[in-house]
């Protein structure tokens, strides 16, 4: 993007961010840097402080200590400037249920001083882009969850923010609506906007983000690309399953470095070069006339990462928040 001289730098810099509610310390000195034009996900379970972080970074309330700068502007000292640079999506706060989608978008345009003609043009364009044309003239109170989220995001884009905060953009949506939103967010990233996304879904962070920071008990416990984080857990494994104890025992003797999973008559063999290692391993077993019932390569998932880093499964793993399928057909 040509208007962005600092594209090589950071658009969000969080330093030593601390926040307590009463005696409950929610953020305990968080440091995080979000490169311009990147999608960074803050991944954490329910109540880990994701919304608190976004609220402080988007000037909603101050931290107890520490600082956030957006494109070099301090969120407390330069709050007005920061507000002109950011868009916040997630809590549908700007949406008025009694108005139609089109009216909401036009009102936002007026609020952003776009002028009457430009507000109308922008509203039409966004309704089209977010697949809301059919529902444009219905009150938002009749919208499904997925449609609301799309409108919420469209409202953010009425102006052209440099930095967008997406606070749990798909929580509570059914898988189909979630995918639609992922596609839209994926499209946004191509335009070079900086996105700071919070999520409790490992899959979402994996799908959308260039970089992931894992928030747990007030601390960033890990940071990096999805690949970096996966590498921190363990290498890929070749998983060999056997039909009978005799083959399983013989293979155990032949492959002493493999980890036996006796219940499943399975051997897990750590590997970093899966193709060569796979061929060598299978040749070895073949030469010893040991029958293998099944072979698979297991690469670590972000769930494995979360478990390894925090000692517990992610909230997203067992509390998906899925609701009954939204009635997207109502859009027509």
Ligand X SMILES: Nc1ncnc2c1ncn2[C@@H]1O[C@H](COP(=O)(O)OP(=O)(O)OP(=O)(O)O)[C@@H](O)[C@H]1O
Helix (H) / strand (E) element for 283: namely helix 274-287
User: Between residues 93 and 288, which has the closer beta carbon with respect to ligand X?
Assistant: 93
Least separation in angstroms between residue 44's CB and ligand X is 5
**Secondary structure element (H or E) that encloses residue 31, with its range:** strand 24-35
Q: Pick between residue 45 and residue 300 the one whose CB is nearest to ligand X.
A: 45
Sign of the dihedral through C-alpha 296, 302, 303, 304? positive
Residue 60 tokens read as: 């909603």
Q: Toward ligand X, which CB reaches closer, 26 or 331?
A: 26
160 near ligand X, judged by CB under 6 A: no
Give the nearest distance from C-beta 198 to ligand X in angstroms.
6
Cα-based angle 184, 188, 192 (whole degrees, multiple of 5) = 165
Query: Cβ of 140: how many Cβ atoms within 10 Å?
Result: 20
Closer residue to ligand X (CB): 31 or 125: 31
Should residue 26 be labelled a site residue for ligand X when binding is judged by CB under 6 A? yes
**Which residues does residue 89 pair with via DSSP β-bridges, in sequence order?**
166
Kindly identify the residues of this chain, within the stretch 266-305, that bind ligand X according to CB under 6 A.
Answer: none
Chain positions 42 to 61 lying near ligand X, rule: CB under 6 A, are 44, 46-52
Least distance from ligand X to the Cβ atom of residue 216, Å: 10
Contact call for residue 218 and ligand X (CB under 6 A): no
DSSP 93-150: TT--TTSBHHHHHHHHHHHTT--HHHHHHHHHHHHHHTT-TTTTTSBGGG--HHHHHH
Q: Token digits for 217?
A: 């008990």
Q: Of 200 and 281, which CB lies nearer to ligand X in the complex structure?
A: 200
Distance of closest approach, residue 20 Cβ to ligand X, in angstroms: 9
Q: How far is the CB of 69 from ligand X (least distance, A)?
A: 20
Residues making contact with ligand X (CB under 6 A): 21, 26, 44, 46-52, 200
């Amino acid at each position: 993007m040509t208007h962005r001289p600092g594209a090589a730098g950071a658009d969000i810099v969080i330093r030593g961010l601390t926040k307590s509610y009463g005696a409950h310390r929610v953020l305990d000195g968080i440091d995080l840097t979000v490169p311009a034009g990147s999608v960074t996900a803050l991944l954490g379970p329910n109540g880990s402080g994701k919304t608190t972080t976004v609220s402080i970074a988007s000037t909603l309330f101050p931290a107890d200590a520490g600082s956030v700068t957006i494109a070099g502007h301090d969120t407390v000292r330069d709050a007005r400037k920061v507000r002109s640079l950011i868009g916040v999506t997630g809590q549908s706060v700007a949406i008025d249920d009694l108005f139609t989608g089109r009216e909401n978008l036009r009102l936002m345009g007026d609020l952003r001083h776009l002028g009457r003609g430009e507000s109308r043009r922008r509203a039409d364009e966004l309704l089209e882009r977010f697949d809301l044309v059919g529902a444009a003239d219905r009150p938002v109170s009749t919208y499904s969850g997925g449609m609301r989220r799309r409108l919420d995001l469209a409202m953010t884009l009425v102006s052209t923010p440099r930095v967008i905060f997406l606070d749990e953009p798909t929580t509570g949506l059914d898988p189909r609506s979630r995918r639609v939103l992922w596609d839209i967010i994926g499209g946004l990233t191509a335009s070079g906007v900086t996105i700071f996304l919070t999520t409790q879904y490992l899959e979402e962070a994996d799908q959308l983000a260039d970089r992931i920071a894992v928030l747990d008990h007030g601390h960033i416990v890990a940071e990096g690309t999805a690949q970096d984080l996966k590498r921190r857990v363990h290498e890929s494994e070749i998983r060999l399953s056997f039909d009978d104890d005799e083959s399983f025992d013989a293979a155990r003797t032949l492959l002493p470095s493999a980890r036996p999973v006796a219940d499943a008559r399975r051997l897990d063999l750590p590997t970093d070069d899966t193709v060569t290692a796979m061929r060598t391993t299978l040749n070895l077993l073949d030469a010893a006339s040991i029958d293998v019932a099944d072979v698979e390569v297991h690469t670590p998932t972000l769930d494995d990462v979360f478990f390894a880093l925090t000692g517990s499964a992610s909230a997203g793993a067992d509390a998906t928040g899925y609701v009954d399928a939204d009635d997207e057909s109502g859009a027509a």
